[in-house]
Amino acid sequence: MSEPRARRAAVTGIGVIAPNGTSTETFWKSTQEGVSVLDRITREGCEHLPLRVAGEVRDFEPADAVEERFLVQTDRFTHFAMAAADLALEDARLGRADTGEEPFSVGVVTAAGSGGGEFGQRELQQLWGKGSRFVGPYQSIAWFYAASTGQISIRRGFKGPCSVVAADEAGGLDALAHAARAVRRGTDLIVAGSTEAPLAPYSMVCQLGYEELSTVEDPAHAYRPFTDGACGFVPAEGGAMVVVEEEYSARERDVRVRAYLAGHAATFTGASRWDRSGEGLAQAIRAALDEAGCAPEEIDVVFADALGVPEADRAEALAIADALGSHGKRVPVTAPKTGTGRGYCAAPVLDAAAAVLAMEHGLIPPTPNVFDVCHDLDVVTVRARAAELRTALVLSRGLMGSNSALVLRHGAVDAS
Amino acid sequence: MSDRITLEELAELMKKAAGVTVSPQQLQEQYDAGFDTLGIDSLGLLGIVGELENRYSTPMPPDAERSKTPRQFLDLVNSAFLAGA
């Protein structure tokens, strides 16, 4: 009896709704050009708050992307998720007819950091302003972390394994890893990723307690990790969804394998314990490399977490040096999120999308607003750098102490 | 207040509470179709009931939110209206 072939998790579709682009093409164009779209927050009811700068998604009209009956029962974070899922599925050439034949072979995994704050605020204002009878029933589901997974699966008729990862910002990478595991276990397709909408009054007030948050008013100076000017991070909304598909399912459909989800690991080192996050991140990198069967020297680019807090930046630089050895000083490091802001769980998923696009284009996007790096890292600044990229490492840490690493292999590489 | 809920009002509530656009004429044609085929789920119907209760400051019969079709729903809420009038 022959050995059953190993099932491999491939990325076959990418859908992006980001501050710097509401399609994968515009996102990549802005990302590789190093455009920063950080700007003063314009959202109603937020003007008086001490958080001034963020990455807003301004070029997105929910009604153009999603049916009204799904819009009325969901928060903005789920509007982004449904729209991004559609884009990813379209990119993977999966129409409703394709997935409708075998609905149990398609699942959904999302990660969420805060759920539907804007919807929740509106309904709670009804509760305290008018009374409990004026709270709409969709409040019961719309602000829930799980809302995006549920609504994507209902709207597209997916009946395969569905789940939600609530694991801090790094949960965005964990969701991709969870999808990869589901594919290896037997599901053909998982729509996976994260979108967030933390730029509404209630949600913003919740963030004001984070000492890592940047309250700098100048967009060009508000988020500058790895420099002496590091002053915290800038939040963002939007995110990305990807189609994770079993390699042979993709080949049978004659769809391009854009990348492989080759290895992942996660560790936990405690909330805001940035001194200890380095050790945890290094261990996550080592374990992810191990799962991917990847030597440190094979890593061609690192998409850094880049929190922008001096102690956290130092810990990340040390983690890269620790886990990659001497290669850690040579490998190009980038953090395109300095141009868009940090969308909590969505941030590392956007980084993973950018990593796939970078490998496809042989181009490492730069780190906007960062020029004067004060760590022993080769940070790509100012303009994109051409390079042959076969393997990318994406790093993420959460404010509550989670650390994750994901190894992506270029689709053209046959690592088997 | 009017003495009964009309198809027009139900159509307006379906739009407001559940985001489903349907004309009174279509609703007439689909009078015995399931709410599910019209795109109204159980929470959507619950929202319509809540909206009616707030609008007319009167409780609806407890079974109203379990109605399967527009006909069932209107018969039930209107019988309650007539009883209360």
Task: Kindly tell me if the per-residue pLDDT of A270 is higher than 90.
Answer: yes
A394 confidence band (pLDDT: 50, 70, 90)? very high
Calculate Rg over the CA atoms of chain A.
20
Whether A73 and B44 lie within 8 Å, measured CB to CB: yes
User: Least CA distance to A69: which residue of chain B?
Assistant: B19
Torsion of Cα atoms, A197 then A151 then A9 then A365, to 10°? -20
Domain ranges of chain A: 9-252, 261-410
A38 confidence band (pLDDT: 50, 70, 90)? very high
Strand partners, A227: A373
Q: How many whole angstroms separate alpha carbon A268 and alpha carbon A280? A: 6
Instruction: Please give the mean pLDDT across all residues of chain A.
Output: 96
By CB atoms closer than 10 A (0-12, 13-18, 19+), residue A260 is: buried
According to CATH, the superfamily of the domain at A9-252 is Thiolase/Chalcone synthase (3.40.47.10)
Please tell me whether the overall predicted TM-score, pTM, comes out greater than 0.90 for this model: yes
A415 confidence band (pLDDT: 50, 70, 90)? very low
Q: How many whole angstroms separate alpha carbon A191 and alpha carbon A182? A: 11
Residue A134 at interface with chain B, using a CB cutoff of 8 Å: yes
User: Least CA distance to A73: which residue of chain B?
Assistant: B18
The nearest CA of chain B is from the CA of A94 a distance in Å of 24
User: Least CA distance to B58: which residue of chain A?
Assistant: A133
Whether A68 and B50 lie within 8 Å, measured CB to CB: no
- Walk along chain B (85 residues) and give the pLDDT tens digit of each residue: 567 899 999 999 999 999 999 999 999 999 999 999 999 999 999 999 999 999 999 889 989 999 999 999 999 999 888 777 5
What are the angstrom distances between the C-alpha of A26 and each of A33, A53, A79, A80?
11, 22, 19, 16
Residue A132 at interface with chain B, using a CB cutoff of 8 Å: no
What are the angstrom distances between the C-alpha of B55 and each of B23, B35, B40, B50?
21, 22, 20, 8
What amino acid occupies position A146?
A
CATH architecture, range A261-410? 3-Layer(aba) Sandwich (3.40)
Give per-residue pLDDT as tens, A166-183.
989 999 999 999 999 999
Which pLDDT score is estimated for A2? Answer: 61
Give per-residue pLDDT as tens, A75-97.
999 999 999 999 999 999 999 99
A414 confidence band (pLDDT: 50, 70, 90)? low
Query: What number is the ipTM of this complex?
Result: 0.89
The CATH topology of domain B7-83 is 1.10.1200
Under 8 Å between Cβ of A32 and A361:
yes
- The reply to whether A9-252 and A261-410 are identical in fold is yes
Whether B20 and A141 lie within 8 Å, measured CB to CB: no
Interface residues of chain B, partner chain A, Cβ below 8 Å: 17-21, 39, 43-44, 46-47, 50, 53-54
Whether A137 and B50 lie within 8 Å, measured CB to CB: yes
Calculate Rg over the CA atoms of chain B.
12
Give per-residue pLDDT as tens, A195-248.
999 999 999 999 999 999 999 999 999 999 999 999 999 999 999 999 999 999
**Among A43-47, A220-224, A289-293, A370-374, which is the least confidently predicted range?**
A43-47
Whether A137 and B53 lie within 8 Å, measured CB to CB: no
User: Least CA distance to B43: which residue of chain A?
Assistant: A137
